[in-house]
Amino acid sequence: MDRPLALVTGASRGIGAAVAGALADTHRILLGGRDSAALEALAAQLPDARPWVVDLADDAAVADAAAGIDRLDVLVHSAGVAQLADVTHSSADAWRRNYEVNVVAVAELTRLLLPALRAANGHVVVINSGQGLSVREGWGPYAASKFGARAFADVLRAEEEPNGLRVTSVYPGRTDTEMQQAVVAAEGGEYSPAKYLRPESVAGAVAAAVLASPDAHLTDITVRPRPHR
């Protein structure tokens, strides 16, 4: 029999690429993203993976790409953006951009794939953020979008658990990614990778939820970096 199928968005780099690697031994992988060259390179390193190239902000393209999937065991939402500013300096475009990618795109792709997920008694994993649990000043648009993503996952779980779906939110602390480098630069700080989680550590938490025994449902996982020594 074919191995179960997982779709990982944001798979061209960072946490998404690490999640794809963590699931590659047990799943066939669809590598979601816009950077076809990066996805092709990652697919060449994994035993059974192929690019799933689509811009999640393009509703028509997403609908076309999702239409070819009739059974899906795992959907991991790892794509995201982080536009930071205090409320005084947060434009309407900043609020819209964070919500469009971090909430609306997540909700729409899930909606389109629900029949395929239900057919497999599947699992939806939303990579959230510590900012989806508590906020700090200067992070308004991003934090609000992550609270929205948290609410979406909670609603989806309440509605779809009776249909056999599992829904997990993963809340990583600061992780060593290109996005984190941009955030630290915006904050005016000095970047030190050793202070942050490795993407592979977050991916391990995702794999733990996905590979949990059928009687277990890991609903919320918080992952924090240990103090730097």
Question: What are the C-alpha distances in Å from 155 to residues 41, 123, 145, 152, 176?
Answer: 36, 14, 15, 5, 30
Burial class (CB in 10 A: 0-12, 13-18, 19+), 142: buried
In the set 142, 171, 191, 196, the catalytic residue is 142
* Per-residue pLDDT at 86 exceeds 70: yes
List alpha helices for 24-121, DSSP H.
36-43, 59-66, 92-99, 105-119
User: For the chain, how many structural domains are there in total?
Assistant: 1
CATH of the domain at 183: 3.40.50.720
Give the range of the structural domain holding residue 195, as residue numbers without chain letter. 5-216
Q: What is the pLDDT of residues 188-197, one digit of tens each?
A: 677 777 778 8
C-alpha torsion sign, points 74, 14, 98, 145: positive
Q: What is the pLDDT of residues 114-152, one digit of tens each?
A: 999 999 999 999 999 988 898 888 778 999 999 999 999
CA distance 203 to 220: 14
Where is 147: in which H helix or E strand? helix 140-160
Buried b vs exposed e over 163-189: b needs ≥16 C-beta within 10 Å? eebbbbbbbbbebbbebbeebbeeeee
Q: Let me know if residue 99 belongs to a domain.
A: yes
Q: Let me know if residue 224 belongs to a domain.
A: no
- Output the pLDDT for position 229: 57
Q: What is the pLDDT of residues 93-112, one digit of tens each?
A: 999 999 999 999 999 999 99
Q: What is the pLDDT of residues 154-185, one digit of tens each?
A: 999 999 999 999 999 999 988 776 677 777 77
Q: Let me know if residue 124 belongs to a domain.
A: yes
- Output the pLDDT for position 117: 98
- Catalytic-residue membership of 142: yes
Q: Let me know if residue 35 belongs to a domain.
A: yes
Q: Let me know if residue 226 belongs to a domain.
A: no
